[in-house]
Amino acid sequence: MKIESKLNESSFRKSQKINLDFVFGKKLKSVKQNLILLFFVLIISLELTSKEIILGYIFLGFALMFLINIIWFYYSYFKIKKQHLKNIETEISHYKNNPDKSIISEFRNDSFYYKDYKMEFTLIWEKFESFQIIDDYLVLKSFGANYLNFFFN
C-alpha cells in the first residue's frame, strides 16, 4: 500500500508533539518522581544536620546529587525541545514554499519505504520494535532510534 500526501500543518504539529512526549514521557515522569524524592531527602537531611548528626550530611549529598540530575535533565530537555520546535517550523516552511512536494510512505511486503524532500530510505520490518496507536495516530517505532518514529493519521 502506497500513501502519497501533502504536509498537513496541524496534523504534523500534533504528531511531532506526540513524538516528543513519546521519546521523553517516561523520563519526565521519572524526573518528577525524583523531585518528590529530593524534597523528602532534603527535609531529612536538614533535620539530621540541625541535630549535628553526620548521616544528615550524607543525605544532603544525595539531595545535591538529585538536584544536579534534575537540573541537567531539564536543561537538556528544554534545549532539545527548542531545537525540535525549530525543526518543525523549518519543515513547515519548506512545504509551504514548495507546495508541489509530497511525502511518500509505502508499506511493502518485506519493508517500509519512506521519502520526503530531505531523505529516502527503506527499512525492513524486523528493524521496527513495535507499533502503537496514540491519539488516532499509528506510530511505528524503530529499534533504538527514537528519532525514527513514523506517525500516520
β-sheet bridge partners, residue 3:
105
Average pLDDT, the chain: 86
pLDDT score, position 147 = 54
- pLDDT band (50, 70, 90) for residue 153: low
Give 101-142 pLDDT, tens digit per residue: 888 989 899 988 988 888 888 888 887 877 878 888 887 777
Lowest mean pLDDT among 54-68, 89-103, 135-149: 135-149
pLDDT score, position 80 = 92
- Contact, 139 vs 131, CB < 8 A? yes
Q: What angle do CA 123, 26, 122 make, to 5 degrees?
A: 5
